[in-house]
Amino acid sequence: MIAKADLKHGAYYAGRCRNASVARWNANTQRFIYWRSKFGFRFAEEIRHPDDDPVYDVFRAEREVEAPAEEIPLELKI
């Protein structure tokens, strides 16, 4: 797992969480963002690094990867 201090803003990472295998690090919010599909809808969702949440689902980044075909936004649209 990549340490939180070693993550690069805007970089994409392969890793593991309940709903994704690729996520993008946002250093401003200190969270990963990934594409989530639920009930036929697709939307961007945030998830924390394991250092920040010992209880709930987290994204464990294993290695940096190239950007996917569809960009993951750095900001969530509310």
pLDDT-flagged residues of the chain (< 70): 78
Q: Is the model's pTM score more than 0.85?
A: yes
Q: What is the pLDDT of residue 53?
A: 87
Position 15 in a domain: yes
**Phi/psi of residue 37, each to 5°?**
-115, 130
Position 37 in a domain: yes
**Phi/psi of residue 44, each to 5°?**
-85, 140
**Phi/psi of residue 75, each to 5°?**
-120, 135
Q: What's the CA gap between 31 and 3, in Å, rounded?
A: 13
Tell me the three state secondary structure of residue 4.
helix
Position 19 in a domain: yes
Domain boundaries, position 38: 4-65
How many domains does the chain fold into? 1
